[in-house]
Chain A
Amino acid sequence: MTIISIVEDEPFIVEALSYLFELEGWAVHILRDGADAAEQILEQQPALIVLDYMLPNKSGITVAREVRGAEAGETIPILMLTAKGQAKDRQLAHLSGVTQFMTKPFANAELVASVKEMLQNANPR
């Protein structure tokens, strides 16, 4: 089963995304704090990471860098969700290894389409 890690501190967003992803047949792995997120992601080895920019105790940018810094995290697609949509934020995200950037608020269909596309690109048949 495809596992998606959701790293997000906003509980209602987590609940909505979990439901949405489970409808698509994906399993979710939820993390609400940036502190040890990278460590847990690397242990879980999800097919994709949905990562919030602003997290308690460690930013999404740092988490992305830590994931990319480990051999086991080099190729996991990272979709960053953020309310920070300025050019410099996007640039920083890409420099930190983020695969795709999506600004809040987003449409559920748009998010699912992006996740599917990223999964497809990561594992082309």
Chain B
Amino acid sequence: MAQTIGGRIREIRAQKGLKQSALAKLVGISPTYLNLIEHDKRAVAGKLLSVFANALETDRTLLVRGATAEMIEHLQQSARQVPSTYNAPTAELDEIEIFTTRFPGWASVLSHQAQTRKRLESLIEILSDRLSHDPILSETIHIMLSNITAIRSISELLVMRGSMEEAKQKSFIQNIFQESKRLSVTAEKLLLQFDPAQAGKAEVNEAPTQRASHNLARPKAKTPSDSEALPSLNLPEAIKNAPAFLRAQEVITRQALHESFKAHHNQPFLIADHFGLPASLVFYQLLSLSGQEGLPDYGLLAVDNAGGVLYRHEIGTMRLPSRSGACPRWPIYRAFGATGEPVLQRMSFITGETYQAYAIAQTRKRDFAQLVPVSQSVMLFHEAQTDDPTPFAPPDVAVGFHCSVCNRTDCTDRREAYALFAD
């Protein structure tokens, strides 16, 4: 294959048995000019290149040496990402083929950089997502900002002290000392979150559940037929391939689920009973219809009996743990106390949000050799409405996200000190 655009034009023309004069006529240029192009004495790009591609019945990008369609696309994307401000550089997009032809090495470097940038942006998005969705991380940062606020405010007062009494100055200096010590402790705790060894382990645990959570496609807004099967969820393989789950997908149609939902006042345990299916499977099916046709927005959390997170789907301000346990007062953990028994609970957060939650724990498999049952607990939840038509009155329990970031100082279930007050 020829190494230049001109050479490739000549090559393809010859393959098609076209004379220079014939192709020149098709393209609308003189044979002399075509001869110059074919011998790379004249550049060809833009509209003329498209005309050549049409005349030779080939793809425009195939005429461009050393530049694949993918590379051109990367360069175009990179050029479009430059903000259109007064002094911003402008790329000559209509001459991109000339650029990639004449400077394939530079084009390759730029394309590589564009891809690297895209990858890094994606990484930033993931880290940013982690920051805002990991309650421990975000609350630790909240505490650090409080520490910093105190230090900054006191420092400013000391710098502009004017006629500040000596005793007051000493008190403020002592406060800065105390607050900076607390800041150090909080910062160390935060660093543990990013410890390479810990982070490596976390990724192993987090990857499948996070992937599943991110890939959980909200069903598209459309008018489904009543008998249509429920949208499939991108769930972990262990759940998706479980025989009971596959059976549930056959049994529960959209119409049947809606009818049952209305008849049973949005009570997932009664719906499960209606279909004769395990409640946890009905939870996943309801999640697939989240927010549609009068149903509330559902969130879901699945954990094993060590508290490890198997699956998570957040809604509203309800933050779920990424890896380990949250508040021991959450019904998902209480459910382990009576495997197979339904747990209904209203979860009241100190920030004022209230969620209606349904949880059940089940023994997934039993290792008879070791006599160790392996259980899982699943919790479905949605924002509680004051006018919920449910005839049930579940207990309203004050909860938090995690002891280290919970300021319910009167909680009797605390297992760890609130980080802000920890010595």
Contact = CB atoms under 8 A, between A and B. Distances in A.
Bound pair: A and B? yes
Interface of A: 9-10, 12-13, 15-17, 19-20, 34, 54-59, 61-62, 65, 81, 83-84, 86, 88, 104-109
Contacts of B142: 54, 83-84
A108 B156 CA distance: 7
B145 A105 contact: yes
Contacts of B409: 56-57
A16 B157 contact: yes
**Residue of A13, A34, A59, A81 contacting most chain B CB atoms (<10 Å):** A13
Interface stretch (B18-26, B34-42, B172-180, B294-302): B172-180
B407 A16 contact: no
Contact of A108 (B146, B153, B168): B153
14 contacts: A9-B420, A10-B146, A10-B420, A13-B150, A16-B154, A56-B408, A56-B409, A58-B350, A59-B352, A83-B142, A83-B143, A105-B145, A106-B153, A109-B156
Given A15-B175, A57-B408, A61-B352, A86 B132 contact: yes
Interface of B: 132, 141-143, 145-146, 148-150, 152-154, 156-157, 168, 171-172, 175, 178-179, 317, 350-352, 407-410, 420
Contact of B352 (A62, A81, A108): A62
A10 B186 CA distance: 15
B407 A57 contact: yes
A65 B351 CA distance: 11
A58 to B, nearest CB: 7
Given A12-B175, A16-B172, A105 B152 contact: yes
B129 to A, nearest CB: 13
Contacts of B171: 15
Given A56-B408, A83-B141, A86-B132, A10 B157 contact: no
Nearest to A33: B409
A55 B407 contact: yes
Nearest to A34: B350
B402 to A, nearest CB: 14
**Residue of B146, B175, B179 contacting most chain A CB atoms (<10 Å):** B146
Contacts of A86: 132
Nearest to B138: A84
Contacts of A61: 351-352
Nearest 5 Cβ contacts at the A-B interface: A83-B145, A12-B150, A104-B149, A105-B149, A16-B153
A83 B153 CA distance: 14
A59 B351 contact: yes
B154 A88 contact: no
Nearest to B132: A86
